[in-house]
Amino acid sequence: MNQTPYEAIGGDETIKKLVAAFYKRVAKHPDLIPIFPDDLTETQRKQHQFLSQFLGGPTLYSDEDGHPMLRARHLPFEITPGRANAWLSCMDEAMDEIGLENPMRDQIFSRLTFTAHHMVNTDKLD
Ligand code: HEM
């Protein structure tokens, strides 16, 4: 039987831990603070829903909000190459904190790297 990445990493519980470890860092990252809301509760809830379906689990995000259209939803925010790297460094550290193991860790991180670079919507230097 082929497991989804969602199942392989331990499902909902692991995603919840990852998202909490991630936003704890986003909240403190000087490059990210200016574009994120002060209260990250709702942002964190949406990310949990999104990652669930991104990793092959229940389609929580689309059930509530339809097609993610992630790039379009990010257009109101200036996402520089530096901010994409900041986002990825918070994710990298969050994966370390929760002890996400390989091969899933590298596989998921590389998909997120691709997605993060796709969100870049300005070549303004930062
Ligand atoms: C929402 C920044 C990459 C998934 C947001 C918001 C910001 C943001 C500022 C709005 C927060 C709010 O108002 O609640 C960034 C930056 C990125 C990045 C700087 C760097 C490249 C990503 C990636 C993913 C992602 C790679 C997917 C894995 C989401 C989701 C939402 C969101 C699901 C919620 C959308 C909604 O409101 O429905 N992001 N993001 N983001 N981001 Fe990102």
Per residue in 50-86, pLDDT (tens digit) is 999 999 999 999 999 999 999 999 999 999 999 999 9
Q: How far apart are the first and last CA of the chain?
A: 46
Mean pLDDT confidence for 26-52? 98
Is the residue at 124 inside a domain?
A: no
For ligand 1, whether the C-beta of 104 sits within 6 Å is no
Q: What is the C-alpha separation between 4 and 88, in angstroms, rounded?
A: 22
Give the total number of structural domains in the chain.
Answer: 1
The CATH number of the domain where 81 resides is what? 1.10.490.10
Give pTM, 2 decimals: 0.97
Is the residue at 125 inside a domain?
A: no
For ligand 1, whether the C-beta of 23 sits within 6 Å is no
Is the residue at 43 inside a domain?
A: yes
Is the residue at 126 inside a domain?
A: no
Supply the pLDDT for residue 123: 84
> Atom 42 of ligand 1 has which residue's CA nearest to it?
47
ipTM confidence: 0.97
For ligand 1, whether the C-beta of 22 sits within 6 Å is no
Tens digit of each residue's pLDDT (9 = 90 or more) over 112-125: 999 999 999 998 87
> Which domain does 26 fall in, by range?
5-119
- Cβ burial of 35 (10 Å; 0-12, 13-18, 19+) is middle
